[in-house]
């Protein structure tokens, strides 16, 4: 079972290292991790997607909470909005360039760079949406891919 856990933490040197070290030491499997500023000054917000049963998940949350610099931990599995951004460099020649652009536009993805033999596609959405586009782009040749990891907010 996959869960999205959010941790708020003081924005200080070494805090991310503490979190990463904890995941490794306790053997938690993480699918993705994204950190950035939150609405509060000096507080970073980390979104982690973890695999595991309820017991593992409870341990992840509790162990995170034990870190002195972590101020709040919650599970975002109820009603929430989650998004990820990916940049994909796809092989595209003048001959098939418009096909690739066509696919991207179906997904409301942007073309952010064009060169003679490749395109960079920027897509934002749920992980599923990104996966689907990638699936379609692969036959053309995905040269490079970078994903931000999921970020999420509870609705309402």
The binding site for another protein (CB under 8 A) comprises: 9-10, 13-14, 17-18, 21-22, 25, 55, 58-59, 62-63, 65-72
Tell me, letter by letter, the H, E, C secondary structure of the chain: CEEEEEEEEECCCCHHHHHHHHHHHCCCCEEEEEEEECCCCCEEEEEEEEECCHHHHHHHHHHHHHCCCEEEEEECCCCEEEEEEEEEEEECCCCCHHHHHHHHHHCCCEEEEECCCEEEEEEEECHHHHHHHHHHHHHHCEEEEEECCCEEEECC
Which CB sits closer to another protein, 23 or 107?
23
> What's the closest the beta carbon of residue 34 comes to another protein, in angstroms?
20
Which CB sits closer to another protein, 13 or 156?
13
Which CB sits closer to another protein, 38 or 96?
38
Which CB sits closer to another protein, 9 or 109?
9
> What's the closest the beta carbon of residue 112 comes to another protein, in angstroms?
35
């Amino acid at each position: 079972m996959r869960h999205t856990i959010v941790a708020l933490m003081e924005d200080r040197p070494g805090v991310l290292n503490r979190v990463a070290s904890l995941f490794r030491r306790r053997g938690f499997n993480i699918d993705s991790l994204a950190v950035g500023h939150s609405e509060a000054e000096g507080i970073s917000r980390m979104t982690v997607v973890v695999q595991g049963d309820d017991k593992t998940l409870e341990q992840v949350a509790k162990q995170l909470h034990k870190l002195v610099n972590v101020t709040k931990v919650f599970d975002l599995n109820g009603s929430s909005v989650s998004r990820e951004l990916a940049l994909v460099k796809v092989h595209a020649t003048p001959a098939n360039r418009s096909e690739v652009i066509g696919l991207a536009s179906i997904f409301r993805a942007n073309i952010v760079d064009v060169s003679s033999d490749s395109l960079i596609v920027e897509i934002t959405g749920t992980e599923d949406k990104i996966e689907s586009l990638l699936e379609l782009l692969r036959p053309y040749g995905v040269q490079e891919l970078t994903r931000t990891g999921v970020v999420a907010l509870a609705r309402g």
